[in-house]
Amino acid sequence: MSTAVWWIRRDLRLTDNQALASALAQADQVIPVFVMDPGLWKAHEAAKRQAFLIGGLRQLDADLRERGSRLIVRHGDPRDALARLVAETGATALTAERDYSPYARRRDGRVVRTLPLGLIDSLTVHPPAAVVKADGKPYTVFTPFSRAWKSLTPPALNLVLPAPERISTPANVTSDPLPTQPALPATVPFVPGEAEAQARLAAFIDRDDPPVYRYGEGRHRMDLDGTSQLSPYFRFGMLSARQAAVAAYSAIESAPDGPSRQSAETWLNELIWREFYVSILYHFPDVLKQAFRSDLRDIPWRNNEREFAAWREGCTGYPVVDAAMRQLSETGWIHNRARMIVASFLVKDLLIDWQWGERWFMQHLVDGDPAANNGGWQWTAGVGTDAAPYFRVFNPVLQGEKFDPHGGYVRRWVPELAGVPDKFIHKPWEMPADMQKKSGCVIGQGYPAPMVAHALARERALAAYRRVRS
């Protein structure tokens, strides 16, 4: 019997898995293998994300066993581990989903030189090399990128591959155990695995009066569940990009009215933003090391360690910033609007290098993805492709008042402010002294005073940016 190896990396699913389908088409038996790569797996780093990944692998193993297969785990350098597996089993084919990060491309380049590795473009709906200008150059601005993306043939509903009913795997293949580490903390609001990803997508798209039709107005509100919260599942491929895009197109076509259709189109654009940042990382891998804009690589950062610690711990004195940073530490996730607010505060109000924040996010985010995380930080800092203008500085008070208008988000994550009236919830330092005592929040005692004056910090940041640009 012929044998193929399905090398699992960021595609922990059976539904619409094109790499798995390729392996099944080439052989009678398929060996699903995950290689614990020491180049990626570092102890005590990104603990929540690693726990989510391990949980997803355990669920994948259970799904495979229901189909007569099982997950094989090997440790070590992928090239060596796969070479041993191929030699042991006599496999004649090796398939994997192509990844576009610099590390993944180097790793796969080493493997393909000695093994019959076939890479399948399914991490994104359209691979980065397909969404380029007429002259073959990459887009560096989102709007023309999205137009070019949409001009390509959209994925049809019948392209989404169902999970195979059975996968035959040789019984004599040995497997290493998965790492033993603490389970995913109960504070993390994401259940690992494909089944949960499918349920969340269905709840967002398929039920009566689906949330996708309110996404346009609700996606910025931090006090509401207005987003799909699918990002951790995209991060590890527990849901395919193609299935999500098909769902978005279906919602657009079925929309009952103009606003609903526009909301569904907005969600599709967010999926395209993910692909835009993958494309940027593919074409410009140096963005992981430096700002895309060469004229903004030498900003005179203050990089005050004490202030960075206050930002990390959610003790800046600005309620919406503190709420977001505490939520990040506890749950491993924060709303995209909150990410922009805290990033702007770190970079512009505190003049701390955006790469410090980028690293902190990657250590804590369950959905931490190098392309999206880097793209988001460079956008907010004003130093990346299609970035916000450098002079755009988020006012944390106004952002809180607009996107957490009743203070529900702040009160949930900053309990010291639970008794503060709505009028002052985003600027508690303006409360009269007697009201501070009455609310149980005395500024400087129960809750810190603002660590910087926003208006002055904004001018300081703009001056620093102007100096380096000139």
CATH number (domain holding residue 106): 3.40.50.620
Distance CA 241, CA 122 (A): 8
336-357 core/surface letters (b: 16 or more CB in 10 A; e: else): bbbbbbbbbbbbbbbbbbbbbb
Active site residue 354: yes
Residue at 397 is within a domain: yes
Do 237 and 310 lie in one domain? The reply is no
**Within-domain flag for 186:** no
Q: Which of 260, 283, 306 is the last residue of a domain?
A: 283
305 is catalytic: no
- Give the Cα separation of 426 and 99 in Å (integer): 42
Cα–Cα dist 372/376, whole Å: 6
Residue 417: which domain range? 294-469
State whether 100 and 132 are in the same domain.
Answer: no
The active-site residue, picked from 7, 273, 311, 379, is 273
Q: What CATH number does residue 248 fall under?
A: 1.25.40.80
Specify the DSSP class assigned to residue 424: G
Instruction: Please state, in angstroms and rounded to a whole number, the distance separating the CA atoms of residues 414 and 321.
Output: 10
Residue 168: inside a domain: no
Query: Which string of b and e fits 173-197 if b means at least 16 CB within 10 Å?
Result: beeeebeeeeebeeebebbbbbebb
The per-residue pLDDT for 43 is 56
| Residue 289 in domain | no
Q: Are residues 438 and 307 in the same domain?
A: yes
Beta-carbon contacts of residue 191 (< 8 Å; ≥ 6 apart): 55
Residue 173 neighbours by CB under 8 Å, 6+ apart: 31, 72, 85, 88, 89
Inter-residue contact 357 to 325 (CB < 8 Å): no
Three-state DSSP at 328 gives helix
User: How far from each other are the two terminal CA atoms of the chain, in whole angstroms?
Assistant: 68
Judgement on whether residues 57 and 135 belong to the same structural domain of the protein? no
Comparing CA positions, the residue from 369, 224, 197, 383 lying closest to residue 290 is 383
Write down the catalytic residue from 333, 377, 379, 413. 377
Q: Count CB neighbours of 157 within 10 A.
A: 11
Q: If we measure between CA atoms, which residue out of 115, 112, 193, 125 comes closest to residue 156?
A: 125
Annotated catalytic residue: which of 217, 265, 269, 270? Answer: 270
Residues 152 and 205 in one domain: yes
How many distinct structural domains can be found in the chain? Answer: 3
245 in a structural domain = yes
139 lies in the same domain as 42:
no
Whether 341 and 398 map to the same domain: the answer is yes
Q: What is the mean pLDDT of the chain?
A: 96
Flag whether 217 is in a domain.
yes
pTM of the model: 0.96
Q: Which amino acid is residue 365, in one-letter code?
A: L
End-of-domain residue from the set 242, 258, 283: 283
Same domain, 333 and 460: yes
Q: Angle at the Cα of 339 (from 333 to 345), degrees rounded to 5?
A: 135
DSSP SS3 for 209: coil
199 with 309, same domain?
Answer: no
Percentages of the chain per state (helix, strand, coil), in multiples of 5: 50, 5, 40
273 is catalytic: yes
Q: What percent of the chain shows pLDDT beyond 70? A: 100
Q: What is the CATH number of the domain that holds 420?
A: 1.10.579.10
Whether residue 26 is found in the same domain as residue 107: yes
d(CA 188, CA 365): 10
- Of the residues 269, 336, 395, 429, only one is catalytic, namely 336
Residue 183, domain member (yes or no): no
Domain end, chosen from 107, 123, 139, is at 123
> Which of 301, 330, 395, 429 is flagged as catalytic?
301
- For every one of its 470 residues, what pLDDT tens digit does the chain have, with 9 covering 90 and above? 899 999 999 999 999 999 999 999 999 999 999 999 998 887 557 999 999 999 999 999 999 999 999 999 999 999 999 999 999 999 999 999 999 999 999 999 999 999 999 999 999 999 999 999 999 999 999 999 999 999 999 888 788 999 999 999 999 999 999 888 778 889 999 999 999 999 999 999 988 889 999 999 889 999 999 999 999 999 999 999 999 999 999 999 999 999 999 999 999 999 999 999 999 999 999 999 999 999 999 999 999 999 999 999 999 999 999 999 999 999 999 999 999 999 999 999 999 999 999 999 999 999 999 999 999 999 999 999 987 788 899 999 999 999 999 999 999 999 999 999 999 999 999 999 999 999 999 999 989 999 999 999 999 999 999 999 88
Residues 374, 269 within the same domain: no
Active site residue 217: no
Residue 188 inside a domain? The answer is no
Category of 84 on φ-ψ map: left (φ > 0), alpha (ψ -120 to 50) or beta: alpha
Q: Taking the CB of residue 148, how many other CB atoms lie within 10 A of it? A: 16
Do 237 and 376 belong to one domain? no
Two structure tokens written together for 81: 């581990």
CA distance 266 to 268: 5
